[in-house]
Amino acid sequence: MNCMKSIIPILFASILLAGCGAAAVVSTPVSNVDNTPPKEMPLTEAQSHRWGLLDLQKDTIPGMSVDKAYAELLAGKKGQTVIVAVIDSGIDIDHEDLNDNVWVNTDEIPNNGKDDDNNGFVDDIHGWNFLGAAYDEQLELTRLLASGDTSNPRFSEASAEYEETRSGAESSKARYEQIFQMASGAQEALSNYFGKADFTAEEVNALETTDETLSQSINAAKQMYGFGFGTLTEAMDQLQGGIDYYSDQVNYNFNIDFRGRKTGDNPDDFSQTHYGDNNIKPVKKSESHGTHVAGIIAAERNNGIGMDGVANNVKIMAVRAVPNGDEYDKDVALAIRYAADNGAKVINTSFGKYYSPHSDKVREAIAYAGSKDVLIVNAAGNEGADIDTVNVFPNDTFGTGPEVSDTFLTVGSITSSYGTKLVSSFSNYGATNVDVFAPGSGVYSTTPENEYDTKSGTSMASPSAAGVAALIRSYYPKLSASEVKHILMDSGLQINREVIVGGDPNSTSSFVKLSRSGRIVNAYNALVLAAQRSK
């Protein structure tokens, strides 16, 4: 599913430049980043909407220095157009901030019902949809149990995990519903008291009453404010999101009897390769993940609306292959091959899982993309785990063994807080299997129907890094996918601070030990190093 586990509201959780022998980049003033004062204060609204683009030294916010790169390195320069494939859920290609940056297959005549370019996909104008009309799906461990294949070496493990996680989902759903009812009752009672639907925390906190029922509503409201909500309406919106999330888990992800696939193919038969359709848009508004990811990479810059993506000169190829549940290995493998065969130079994969019955086929597709000089930028996952000790899929290696291609970059997530809370509490890490970190907490981007929202996850960190990769491939097109990968790793900001790992204040590590590079992606430095290496 989208980056292993979607990030739902967690307010209730309590209820520089030298590497690989390269010369130092002397034109970037970032050699003393560890002397930059820590900043763990809340961001302004303007900062929160673009913090990933900001500069550590100037703003004391650990963004990727994207705005600085455009102002000081790219002004007056013209890059080449780069196709970036986003393998994800559906993408709203009509969004006001994306519609000018969508890939068009010029070898295909729109809507004539023919495969004009002979690539096996009819009318694939903007990409391909391997899910058909489906969206809701089981998790891979649920599929394993539903198969009844007790000979599978992971069957017992899946069975035990299933019982624990399904029970947890049911309990969480009930808890969210209980809190929602409390907040809803408080909202109704206080609205009646004030004679208006909207009221402030200050107004509630100033209330004194001997009415027991009203007093209970005041206490409930204060509890919501204590969780960090500004209003009860905001609390109910967030709580409803939690209810929907856990309801989907109970009704679909952990439902052994549910069958979501509607494409007519056998997902275990890799000889069946042409299925699905050309409708790459979301099937419902809540299918927003792909649109959010696409906006981080390629939302139109400086158009005065919404937000700015990382990269200009980008066309997004939409490949719909990630459901509301675990993606099928066949869909992922074919999606990677489709993107590589149709001109993508960067592929973003903001999804993952811990069971993968055909992981070898996915690795073959990763190697195939690498052979065609395509860089895959992949989300590390959201379990707060060391993925050197557990297999996460997709991956370009088994365990900590040799990689099938040097064109696969795995990205962990950081927050906007330059201090002990730098690493996102949910982010996976690994000195071998995570390559670099990038902004992934509280990232503002596009969502369907011309809307915008803030989401968190390594799903957001991956497209942040993919956008910088696209910048390099646009302005320095002679560099190979492997070279771009290592530039991103070698040019990042190296942070030597102690940080909290996995959200546990009692678990800390030096940031440099949490990935192969020990660095945060930095667009300014990457472009400087790309200029050097391209010579």
- Whether 25 shows a pLDDT value over 50: the answer reads no
| Whether residues 346 and 217 fall in one domain | no
Mean pLDDT for 363-381 is 98
- 305 has pLDDT over 70: yes
112 assigned to some structural domain: no
- 235/281 same-domain check: no
Range of the domain at 526: 54-98+127-137+274-533
Same structural domain, 287 and 339: yes
Looking at the structure, do residues 387 and 505 belong to the same domain, yes or no? yes
Mean pLDDT rounded to a whole number for the chain: 93
Give the pLDDT confidence of 453-473 residue by residue, as tens digits: 999 999 999 999 999 999 999
- Residue 400: its pLDDT value, please? 77
Q: State whether 324 and 407 are in the same domain.
A: yes
Q: What is the CATH number of the domain that holds 420?
A: 3.40.50.200
- How far is C-alpha 147 from the chain's CA centre? 30
Residue pair 91/281 in contact (Cβ under 8 Å)? The answer is: yes
- Is omega for the bond preceding 394 within 30 degrees of 0, making it cis? yes
Any domain includes 44:
no
Evaluate whether residue 63 is within a structural domain.
Answer: yes
pLDDT band at 16 (very low <50, low <70, confident <90, very high): very low
Q: In this predicted structure, what is the pLDDT of residue 1?
A: 77
pLDDT for 3: 60
Asked whether residue 359 falls in the same domain as residue 314, the answer is yes
Bridging pattern class, strands 314-320 and 443-447: unpaired
Q: Is 59's pLDDT higher than 70?
A: yes
| 102 three-class SS | strand
Residue type at 43 in one-letter notation: L
pLDDT tens string 387-403? 999 999 999 997 778 89
Task: Reply yes or no on whether the pLDDT at 309 is more than 60.
Answer: yes
pLDDT at 217: 95
- Domain presence at residue 111: no
Residues 412 and 487 in one domain: yes
Count of H-run helices and E-run strands, the chain:
14, 13
- Residue 200, pLDDT > 70, answer yes
Dihedral angle at the C-alpha atoms of 424, 302, 523, 453, nearest 10 degrees? 10
pLDDT of residue 31 exceeding 70, the answer is no
- Residues 280 and 242 occupy one common structural domain: no
DSSP string, 441-497: SSEEEEETTTEEEEE-SHHHHHHHHHHHHHHHHHH-TTS-HHHHHHHHHHSSEE---
pLDDT at 300 over 70: yes
Give me the DSSP letters along 404-443. S-S-EEEEEEE-S-BSTT-B-TT--B-TTT--EEEE-SSE
| 20 has a pLDDT exceeding 50 | no
The pLDDT, as a whole number, for residue 7 is 64
Q: Does residue 12 lie within any of the structural domains?
A: no
Residues 248, 278, single domain; the answer is no
In 3D space, the residue among 164, 145, 165 whose CA is nearest the CA of residue 155 turns out to be 145
Give per-residue pLDDT as tens, 325-358.
999 999 999 999 999 999 999 999 999 999 999 9
Residue 8 belongs to some domain of the structure: no
Q: And the tokens for 519? A: 């660095």
Number of domains in the chain: 2
Give pLDDT tens digits for 216-235: 999 999 999 998 888 999 99
Query: For 18-42, b where at least 16 C-beta lie within 10 A, e where not — what string?
Result: ebeeeeebeebebeebeebeeeeee
Global pTM reads 0.92
Q: What percent of the chain clears pLDDT 70, i.e. is strictly above it?
A: 93
Among candidate residues 205, 222, 253, the one where a domain is terminated: 253
Domain assignment present for 14: no
Counting residues of the chain whose pLDDT is more than 90, the rounded percentage is 87
Does 279 lie in the same domain as 422? yes
pLDDT at site 8: 60
pLDDT band at residue 34 under the 50/70/90 scheme = low
Same domain, 326 and 471: yes
Spatial contact of 265 and 130, defined as CB atoms under 8 Å apart: no
Q: What are phi and psi of 228, to 5 degrees?
A: 105, 0
Say yes or no: 310 and 425 in one domain.
yes
Average pLDDT over residues 144-171: 97
The Cα–Cα gap between 359 and 363 comes to 6
* Residue 414 belongs to a domain: yes
